Amino acid sequence: MKIEIATFGAGCFWCIEAVIQRLKGVEKIASGYTGGIVPGIPTYREVCSGKTGHAEVVQVTFDADEISYHDLITVFMTSHDPTQLNKQGADRGTQYRSVIYYHTNNQKYIAENVFSEVKDYFSDSIVTELSVAKEFHIADKEHQDYYNENSDNGYCRVVIDPKLAKLRAMYSDILA
């Protein structure tokens, strides 16, 4: 087992959490916040205000012997719109930015390569931020495993279900 950590945001953390937790090799996933300019542990309300500088992210603990960082980032990049600056769908603000927080220089290098590999998949330029990992703050319990606990909720059915259908269509070979 080769355990690694990945941290990234793709708008609302509920969406990317639901996608990534279905991949082989994902040992643990937590929704939370990182990248802020305000010290201390932010609340959901503070992050949603857009004033703390934090992004909604997931922190993924994965077995690199089962899923490569390359495959993880490829799924991430094709599971949201990385050409949208500070927004995803109806969510607007810097807290919803597309961002990869790399933990090693090798992760940065791999992410840069994936950007080049997937750029033709999109009609606009990729604006995903690539930054060194910062302190991660886990979100409250009600934000963890959100889709699995609330799959009948309208947001889940309208926004997350199509992302999961796309995941099954594109990546069935690496689903758990």
- List active site positions: 12
Q: What share of the chain is helix, strand, coil (3-state, %, to 5)?
A: 40, 25, 35
Helix (H) or strand (E) holding 31: strand 26-34
Whether the CB-CB separation of 78 and 98 falls below 8 Å is answered with no
Q: Among candidates 22, 47, 8, which has minimal Cα distance to 148? A: 22
